[in-house]
Structure 1
Amino acid sequence: MIVRKKGYYYVFIKQHDHGLLSGELAAQMTQPIRPLAKTLYAISHHDWGWESLDQSPLWNEETNEPYSFEDYPMLPKLEAYTDGIAKVVAHDPYAGFLCSKHYASFFTNIDDPVARKFREQEYSRQNKLRPLFTEEEEENITANFRLLRFCDDLSLALCFNEPGEEPNHPWFKDGILYQGERYQWVWEGRYHLRLIPNLFKQSFTVEIPYQVFDGYRRLVGRDVYRFTVMV
């Protein structure tokens, strides 16, 4: 879950919904993406493994607050990552490779033995998948991996903030770096925003489903954020 505290309540956005938003953002970009369908599938489904974990929130009994993806217990999180990558690989090896590369990058400088085992497992998976790729796929691995990470950040920056409010999450206050340039979401009212500098070919509307829980762990509401990305 992506969890945002709002007064006495908690706003929950499911990871896979955030992933689907990442794919929508990528699909609207002006830059050429090759191979298109496989890369968009990877970006849209990179958080597929969270689907089972996000069926119901997990609460930290010590703090009486919900776990988010940032502090979720390591073992079940890595098991979910592994399952999600495997499902994407089963659909398409190239898309699965990009997701594997994305998740392995989280643990490059972490010495936790469980995380290290996961990282080595994914390196092994990548080595087995790579000989299957076409020349076009191989040539675009680096560019598509960077695009996945960028669209992941673009989507997270939206999910971490209340619509209409300037970005305040520490990860994104200074913008999002991509290909040597920093990009920033700028709101124009509650329902319209722009990416500065612009990377999109046309204006488009996106939706983000969310749930609201109170401090007693009760579901008190659900709705959908709807807003238009302007060019």
Structure 2
Amino acid sequence: MENIQKIKCLIVDDEPIARKIIKNYIDQISFLENAGECKNGLEALDVITKDKEIQIVFLDINMPNLNGLSMAKIMKNNIPIIFTTAYSEYAVESYDVNAIDYLLKPFSFERFTTAVFKAIEKIEKAKDFPNTAILELEENKIYIKSEGMNFPVLLTDILYCEAMKNYTKVFISNGKSLKTLIPFSKIEQDLIYKGNHFLRIHRSFLISKLHISSIKSNHINIGNFEIPIGPQYKESILKTIGLK
């Protein structure tokens, strides 16, 4: 790690003691730099918008004005997020927003360091595979980068997307599928921004409502594909589709 460039970190927590502990941990790691401290998500979004060099965000969840989970969903860039919270019940939701790690307060310096190195691994991978897997071509078309090539795809041709371990798989109506290294959460943001017919129905699946062939209690059929409905998404899906 001798030649690593300083990594700028942002601390977001409404508790002064919590901010102080994280700042102390950051100060003990030579290749980390404290880029600032925020009391809530709104302040943090403002800082991130202005400072493009921030690379890691240590983010509390229960905060006034804008909580950590909501802030993470709003963030459109791919900055690694490490949640720091006293509440274990948010762990599942944290991974829905592609969090690197989930630190349960009070956490040790050793546990903190483990999370930092996970974030660094993601940062290094991003250098090898720049965040250009989805690029705007026209209002109704995108480029999806797969296996070193950019493929133009009509939004209306996308059937669904599936989150895999280290990549996202995009299924297209012509029978082909594209594997892209861009995170599933980023693909969800981009597609929902570009087309209101995309719908998240599971932690690992995003579908196009244009291609729904049938709906059952626990799954949706997209052509010949059977996509599971996550229990936490079921009620909102039925309302969105107009079945409730």
For the aligned pair, the TM-score class normalised by the smaller chain equals: under 0.3
Bigger helix share: 1
TM-score normalised by length of structure 2? 0.23
Structure number with bigger Rg: 2
Bigger strand share: 2
